[in-house]
């Protein structure tokens, strides 16, 4: 079989379909610390910078979002979760911060990620998507 005429370098962006853009923007920007990279109004696409990659939000009633049909329900989703690599994992500070924002921790513990096994917390965004915050790999 011929090899592909390209090599995959990594993820570039993930695009989440949502209903309430303000609530989602608050979660990803004000709580997690994303910044608005650009707001493409032609496509109703809000591109948020998450370190070296992007998390894009499209509203289900927008130009791009409408093509995907109904709003996501609690089941039958195509994305189980996605993970964001964070630079440091201070368990106590992280819990205090998450609690202060009244955000549910779905699960936590050491998990395998792209650069090894390290601590993770799994949060639910305002529309039920699971976002894993993944710390640096354990050196132990």
Partner 1 sequence: MTTKAPFAMKGLDHVVVRCTDLATMKHFYCDVLGGTMQEEDTEIGLYQVRIGDHIVDLMPIDEPSGRKGGPAPGGDGYNMDHFAIQVEPYDDDAIRAYLSGHGVDLGATIIRGGAEGEGPGIHIKDPEGNTVELKGPPDPAYN
Asked if 75 touches partner 1 (CB under 8 A), the answer is: yes
Shorter beta-carbon distance to partner 1: residue 97 or 138 = 97
Asked if 24 touches partner 1 (CB under 8 A), the answer is: no
Question: Nearest distance from residue 113's CB to partner 1, in Å?
Answer: 5
Residue pair 120/135 in contact (Cβ under 8 Å)? The answer is: yes
Question: Nearest distance from residue 57's CB to partner 1, in Å?
Answer: 9
Shorter beta-carbon distance to partner 1: residue 35 or 140 = 35
Residues 30-59 touching partner 1, rule: CB under 8 A, are 30-34, 37-38, 40, 47, 49-56, 58
Asked if 108 touches partner 1 (CB under 8 A), the answer is: no
- Residues 70, 73, 78: CA angle, nearest 5 degrees: 85
* Token pair 């130009």: residue: 63
Q: Residue 96: is it exposed, middle or buried by C-beta count within 10 angstroms (0-12/13-18/19+)? A: exposed
Of the candidates 126, 135, 122, the residue with the CA atom closest to the CA atom of residue 22: 126
CA distance 47 to 41: 11
Asked if 114 touches partner 1 (CB under 8 A), the answer is: yes
Residues 117-136 touching partner 1, rule: CB under 8 A, are 127-129, 132-134
Asked if 25 touches partner 1 (CB under 8 A), the answer is: no
Take residue 95 and report the two structure tokens written for it.
Answer: 């819990």
């Amino acid at each position: 079989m011929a090899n592909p005429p390209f090599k995959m370098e990594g993820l570039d962006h993930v695009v989440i379909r949502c209903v309430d853009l303000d609530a989602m923007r608050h979660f990803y920007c004000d709580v997690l610390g994303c910044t608005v990279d650009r707001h493409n109004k032609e496509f109703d696409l809000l591109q948020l910078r998450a370190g070296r990659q992007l998390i894009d939000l499209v509203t289900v009633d927008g130009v791009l979002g409408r093509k995907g049909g109904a709003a996501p329900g609690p089941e039958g989703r195509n994305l189980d979760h996605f993970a964001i690599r964070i630079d440091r994992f201070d368990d106590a500070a992280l819990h205090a911060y998450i609690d202060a924002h009244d955000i549910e921790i779905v699960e936590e513990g050491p998990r395998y990620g792209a650069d090894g096994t390290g601590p993770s917390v799994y949060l639910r965004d305002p529309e039920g998507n699971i976002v894993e915050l993944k710390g640096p790999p354990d050196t132990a």
